[in-house]
């Protein structure tokens, strides 16, 4: 984090006390003790990571192979001055400005069947936040086959109603957010609020899992 | 009865009991690279679609992913 940010930020204790006022001491303790792996740092992952950092999650593992592109700026949590930077470098910068005391582990790498458990193995919850359908399926299968708790997303493209974005518990360890059908490859585009609504569903499900509020 | 995503796949008289998950999927339009299959609440490992046999009373959930994020 930049020196300027450290100087002007509230202390760790001040930030925790403020979180306790809003979220309760027990929940804040659980969130502080949790590790979440966010796979894909685009429209879903960058928004999920920021929501979790604000909510007080103690540690994030961030994974993305890509760099910030000008076409990302309309819906992803990057700044215009970060175009060209690896997302795995740019997002930690932004997160530390928001939540200076969060622990971050960042990997600029493509997630494969071979390296997936090395990357997400220690996380309490895995967040699937890729854009590619095959990558989504690969991560979901690998995580569930290794008994990880997983929150994934499918179907948030286009100008459709935000209310059609839902969270569904598919099975014991598998939560799925989105409308299930709106495919970006159908040429319907991606719109920031709808992608953010889906990211918010993922983040809220993760918070609820960590706080023991999901069955 | 064998259900997939809540629908009885044997309703038309086709019997899937004793057939594998892979055999069932081959009768559908699912793209195997974009799906996850749960059988009675547990993930069916991708490597085991061929050897996982369906049985009377099974309930499958096939999640097919679409792009965007």
Report the CATH number at residue B36: 3.10.20.30
Cα nearest neighbour of B62 on chain A: A170
High-pLDDT (> 90) share of chain B, %? 100
Q: Does B68 fall in a domain?
A: no
Q: What pLDDT, on a 0 to 100 scale, did the predictor assign at position A7?
A: 73
CB pair distance less than 8 Å for B34 and A176: no
Q: Does B54 fall in a domain?
A: yes
Q: What pLDDT, on a 0 to 100 scale, did the predictor assign at position A5?
A: 64
Q: Does B69 fall in a domain?
A: no
Q: Does B17 fall in a domain?
A: yes
CB-CB contact of A78 with A46 (8 Å)? yes
Rounded to the nearest integer, the mean pLDDT of chain B is 97
Task: Give pLDDT < 70 ranges for chain A.
Answer: 1-6
Q: Does B34 fall in a domain?
A: yes
Mean pLDDT in residue range B27-38 = 97
Domain count, chain B: 1
Q: Does B32 fall in a domain?
A: yes
pLDDT tens-digit series, residues A66-107: 999 999 999 999 999 999 999 999 999 999 999 999 999 999
Q: Tell me the count of A-B CB pairs closer than 8 A.
A: 81
SS3 assignment, position B61: strand
Q: Does B25 fall in a domain?
A: yes
Which chain B residues are Cβ-neighbours of A200 within 8 angstroms?
Answer: none
Q: What pLDDT, on a 0 to 100 scale, did the predictor assign at position A116?
A: 98
Q: Which of A209, A203, A212, A214 lies closest to A26, judged by CA?
A: A212
**Chain A residues within 8 Å of chain B (Cβ atoms):** 40, 42-45, 129-134, 136-137, 140-141, 144-145, 152-157, 170-172, 174, 176, 180-185, 190, 195
Domain limits for position B37: 3-63
Q: Does B21 fall in a domain?
A: yes
- Cα within 13 Å of Cα(A130), Cβ side: 21
Chain B nearest C-alpha distance from A60 (Å): 19
Mean pLDDT in residue range B26-30 = 97
Cα nearest neighbour of A181 on chain B: B66
Mean pLDDT in residue range B33-44 = 97
């Amino acid at each position: 984090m930049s020196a300027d940010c450290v100087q002007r930020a509230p202390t760790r204790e001040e930030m925790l006390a403020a979180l306790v006022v809003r979220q309760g001491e027990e929940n804040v303790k659980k969130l502080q003790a949790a590790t979440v792996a966010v796979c894909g740092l685009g429209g879903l992952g960058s928004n999920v990571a920021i929501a979790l950092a604000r909510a007080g999650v103690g540690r994030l593992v961030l994974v993305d192979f890509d760099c910030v592109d000008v076409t990302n700026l309309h819906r992803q949590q990057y700044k215009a001055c970060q175009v060209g930077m690896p997302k795995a470098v740019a997002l930690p910068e932004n997160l530390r400005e928001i939540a200076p005391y969060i622990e971050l582990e960042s990997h600029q790498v493509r997630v494969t069947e071979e390296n997936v458990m090395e990357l997400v193995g220690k996380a309490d919850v895995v967040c699937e936040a890729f854009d590619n359908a095959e990558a989504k399926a690969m991560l979901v299968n690998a995580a569930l086959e290794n008994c990880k708790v997983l929150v994934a997303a499918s179907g948030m493209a286009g100008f459709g109603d935000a209310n059609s974005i839902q969270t569904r518990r598919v099975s014991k360890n598998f939560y799925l957010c989105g409308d299930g059908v709106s495919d970006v490859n159908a040429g319907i585009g991606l719109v920031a609020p709808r992608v953010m609504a889906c990211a918010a569903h993922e983040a809220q499900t993760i918070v609820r899992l960590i706080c023991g509020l999901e069955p | 009865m064998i259900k997939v995503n809540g629908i009885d796949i044997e309703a038309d008289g086709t019997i899937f009991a004793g057939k594998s998950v892979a055999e069932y999927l081959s009768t559908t339009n699912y793209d195997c690279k974009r799906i996850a299959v749960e059988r009675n609440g547990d993930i069916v490992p991708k490597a085991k679609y061929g050897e996982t046999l369906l049985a009377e009373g099974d309930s499958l959930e096939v999640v097919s992913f679409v792009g965007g994020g």
